[in-house]
Chain A
């Protein structure tokens, strides 16, 4: 099975994240880049599927040069090779253009199964997997907390508000995973060393037949009109419990008409 796992580098949530004042895009230099957390679950699931069914795991990343750190981590976990879609023309791409560029690249490199994390911690749109399924014309098996492949059949549990749906489809397909699907492995020392020798192919937009007029900030379907740091919340009332903390809280809730 030819599995492609999409991995995104995001600014570390623990550091201060900012938008750039000039073009209102994410300031990727201001914060440390880390692997998006849910992408680690996607890599783990791809590796488990490979271990069970054979085949190859390819890491696909779209992002600037420094995203190679993210690629190396996925390779150190055990992925076989990587494709890095990197081109200045992609800077500022919104969800629609990102999904277009990723879909073009996936068509170029081929796949039986695409695995993604359900959401990134920076933009948090949660739309990419659905958009890829739409663009590639393959089944959308998203928000999965369990994936089973048997031959060319695939079944997932899709989490819902009431529990989960059992969903079935035929490969090729796009899967997105949620947090509790597995426990991502830590790269071993051997894995880290081996990752340095694994092939990483860097593609510019032309290499993946991506139309430059459909990507980047200028082509985006959405725009940030303006932005500002959120005003600090007005300082609240903090009291120490002297045996009447619950009653005082009730008074507060009553003053706000909650009770």
Chain B
């Protein structure tokens, strides 16, 4: 079977969950070959990739790959597309992953599909568009299919691959060194999972009422090991930082469970969460459109319901 390149997402040397999902997906369509870009590679990382089916692991761990914005990773992948002639290239549909996919598409004269929520035979992708209102099957018709797949599109399943490492050296062009990253500023993150990767997301909206009251949302999130999100009403009010905004102009999440507390469910918000597998809503207003989406909804005051739920979750653990 043909090789399918999977660009590895990693942080502090750890392989991120979305990469294990992409390897699982790649296994159903060909032979997965992981591509490690940047420093931090270790035997443990390779073992993890092999555990989830990587037959080959291309390692390009020079520092300059991450010293410049996006372009070096696209050059690395373009080089591998040329040398390995893969059947497809999969990246995570994060903001940066999509940019890498875009540049790679130009470089290799190949079509690109973004925000796939599934990928089947013939590399036909499932996409959910217009705020979840329309389901689309699409495919690449020219070049090597490049597909950016949303986190949580499939459950990662271990199945060992050979995990043969191959060092790759990439000589970056001047164009790839044009936008230099001179500093990385880490902002408060805490122990919570990343919003777009999390299996469970608890989001608060206008009904939360204040920045202080977001502790109620955080409390529930922490009891469930979930990420915290916020509606635009909440981030515009300054109650929660903008990078946690879920919706049309913020992050798109596709978790197993999405809990919306005090969020009415305007189309702009739904565009960011409608592909969640299970949706739960708590809202005072029985007419709130979020209840149309909810698998389970409680009409009530989130300041009563959410702390009670947190207590119950903690009790039942």
Contacts and interface: CB of A to CB of B under 8 A. Distances in A.
> Do A and B truly interact?
yes
Interface of A: 13-14, 16-19, 37-38, 94-96, 99, 118-119, 121-122, 124-131, 133-135, 137-143, 157-170, 173, 179-180, 220-230, 233-234, 236-241, 243-250, 252-254, 256, 258-259
B296 A259 contact: no
Given A143-B95, A226-B136, 19 more contacts: A96-B106, A122-B130, A126-B114, A130-B102, A140-B103, A158-B69, A160-B184, A179-B245, A220-B141, A221-B105, A221-B140, A229-B133, A236-B291, A244-B308, A249-B312, A253-B313, A256-B278, A258-B257, A259-B317
Contacts of A224: 136-138
22 contacts: A13-B268, A130-B98, A130-B102, A139-B69, A140-B71, A164-B187, A165-B69, A165-B185, A167-B182, A222-B138, A230-B128, A236-B294, A238-B297, A238-B298, A239-B296, A239-B299, A241-B300, A249-B305, A253-B309, A256-B257, A259-B316, A259-B317
B102 A237 contact: no
B114 to A, nearest CB: 5
The DSSP consensus for interface residues of chain B is mixed
Given A99-B106, A142-B70, A158-B69, A259 B313 contact: yes
Number of chain B interface residues as a range: 35 or more
A222 B141 contact: yes
B297 A236 contact: yes
B241 to A, nearest CB: 9
B141 A167 contact: no
Contact of A241 (B186, B187, B224, B298): B298
Nearest to A129: B99
A230 B134 contact: yes
A205 B310 CA distance: 60
Interface in B63-110: 69-71, 74, 94-96, 98-103, 105-107, 109-110
A221 B295 contact: no
B280 A166 contact: no
Interface string B266-282: 01100100000011101
A94 B249 CA distance: 21
A229 B133 CA distance: 6
B74 A134 contact: yes
A179 B242 contact: yes
A169 B179 contact: yes
Contacts of A220: 111, 141
Interface of B: 11, 69-71, 74, 94-96, 98-103, 105-107, 109-115, 124, 128-143, 175, 178-187, 189, 194, 196, 200, 224, 242-243, 245, 248-250, 252, 256-257, 267-268, 271, 278-280, 282, 286, 291-301, 304-313, 316-317
A94 B111 contact: yes
A113 to B, nearest CB: 13
A222 B113 contact: yes
Contacts of B107: 134
B300 A142 contact: no
A166 B181 contact: yes
Contact of B280 (A38, A95, A167, A249): A249
